[in-house]
Amino acid sequence: MMTTTELEEMVEKKTGQHVVKMKGVSKIFPNGNVAVDNVDIDIADGEFISFVGPSGCGKSTIFKMISGLVENTTGEIEILGSQVQTAQQKRTDVGFVFQDATLLPWRSVLENVMLPLEFQRMSKVEKREEAERALKLVGLKDYAKSLPRQLSGGMKMRVSIARALVAKPKLLLMDEPFGALDEITRQSLQSELLRIWESQKMTVLFITHNVFEAVYLSTKVAVMTPSPGKIASTVNVSLPFPRDDEIRTTHQFSDIVARVSRDLKF
Ligand SMILES: Nc1ncnc2c1ncn2[C@@H]1O[C@H](COP(=O)(O)OP(=O)(O)OP(=O)(O)O)[C@@H](O)[C@H]1O
């Protein structure tokens, strides 16, 4: 088991490179809504950071600015060492997972996972092998030929995660991926996600409304408050990895949950 200090050293060692750097970033929509106000945040390589906050505090807008879908009004955003516009062109570096699995219903599970590789210069055999590898990672290798409608909600989400992982992204953006799942499925997918994150050595940015989920998953939690959307605090989650289910019942876990919940109220 990795101790807290070892974990911090591991993240520290990789900290030479910041995967996301935001400085003085604001987004004011044309109707005057200040969705994000003067956000500064540096996210180190290998970090798992959750953004928690009430509806409307700017979480999705931050993700949209990182992915280049929405332009920032002020400030600078650097992703994987380049300005966001350039990062946008290197699409395979960044993977996305949303609350809705958004699978193509007429395509098999394997064909859905192969989608992001469609325009890559690889042979069909290689594409298939990469998709099979991603499906194995999420524990669905036996469902390659199934159609999405034959899967449960949790399995569909696993396919969606496999599709995001197939191009081996360095940065994975997950916008409330488990929000629509029941609590048991949700907890099992949380454990799976941590196992994948540890084995794939990528950086994950994760949006959730659920403080327990944020603390269980993350190395850091960015607590956001609304009107205007701001990062009120960044809380280090100094719990060791790998994290098993028991960790959720420890005092240390409850203390961090209490700290995040307190910051949410400011
Ligand atoms: N296109 C838009 N035009 C005007 N205002 C917008 C637009 N998109 C978002 N907003 C406003 O910006 C603020 C932040 O929205 P955002 O969707 O980023 O919040 P959020 O924290 O992701 O919310 P939720 O948890 O409900 O998804 C909200 O007040 C929202 O109404």
Q: Which tens digits make up the pLDDT trace of 6-52?
A: 555 555 444 457 899 999 999 999 999 999 999 999 999 999 999 99
Does any domain span residue 111? no
Which of 55, 73, 227 most suits a substitution to test ligand 1, by most atoms within 8 Å of the C-beta? 55
> Ligand 1: does its nearest atom lie under 6 Å from the Cβ of 60?
yes
Q: What pLDDT sits at residue 101?
A: 85
CA distance 256 to 235: 8
Rounded distance from Cα 227 to ligand 1 centre (Å): 10
Domain count, the chain: 1
| Closest-lying ligand 1 atom to the alpha carbon of residue 27 | 12
Q: What pLDDT sits at residue 180?
A: 87
| Closest-lying ligand 1 atom to the alpha carbon of residue 61 | 18
In 188-204, which positions are buried (b, 16+ CB within 10 angstroms) versus exposed (e)? ebbebbbbbbeeeebbb
Does any domain span residue 140? no
For 68-86, write each residue's pLDDT tens digit.
889 999 999 998 877 776 5
> Ligand 1: does its nearest atom lie under 6 Å from the Cβ of 208?
no
Domain that holds residue 201: 17-102+170-264
Residue 20 CA neighbour count, 13 Å, CB half = 26
Does any domain span residue 163? no
Rounded distance from Cα 72 to ligand 1 centre (Å): 14
Indicate whether 187 pLDDT > 80. Answer: yes
Q: What pLDDT sits at residue 5?
A: 54
Q: What pLDDT sits at residue 15?
A: 47
Does any domain span residue 122? no
Which of 61, 62, 99, 213 most suits a substitution to test ligand 1, by most atoms within 8 Å of the C-beta? 61
Residue nearest to atom 11 of ligand 1 (CA): 35
For 244-256, write each residue's pLDDT tens digit.
999 999 999 999 9
DSSP the chain: -B-HHHHHHHHHHHTTSEEEEEEEEEEE-TTS-EEEEEEEEEEETT-EEEEE--TTSSHHHHHHHHTTSS--SEEEEEETTEEHHHHHH-GGGEEEEESS----TTS-HHHHHHGGGTTSS--HHHHHHHHHHHHHHTT-GGGTT--GGGS-HHHHHHHHHHHHHTT--SEEEEESTTTTS-HHHHHHHHHHHHHHHHHHT-EEEEEES-HHHHHHH-SEEEEEETTTTEEEEEEE----BS--GGGGGSHHHHHHHHHHHHHHT-
> Ligand 1: does its nearest atom lie under 6 Å from the Cβ of 57?
yes
Which of 33, 206, 210, 230 most suits a substitution to test ligand 1, by most atoms within 8 Å of the C-beta? 33
> Ligand 1: does its nearest atom lie under 6 Å from the Cβ of 179?
no
Does any domain span residue 10? no
> Ligand 1: does its nearest atom lie under 6 Å from the Cβ of 56?
yes
Q: Which residue has the higher pLDDT, 187 or 11?
A: 187
Does any domain span residue 212? yes
Give the mean model confidence (pLDDT) for residues 201-216. Answer: 95
Does any domain span residue 112? no
Does any domain span residue 49? yes
Which of 50, 57, 71 most suits a substitution to test ligand 1, by most atoms within 8 Å of the C-beta? 57
> Ligand 1: does its nearest atom lie under 6 Å from the Cβ of 65?
no
Residue nearest to atom 20 of ligand 1 (CA): 56
Query: Any idea what the CATH number is for the domain that residue 248 is in?
Result: 3.40.50.300
ipTM beyond cut 0.90:
yes
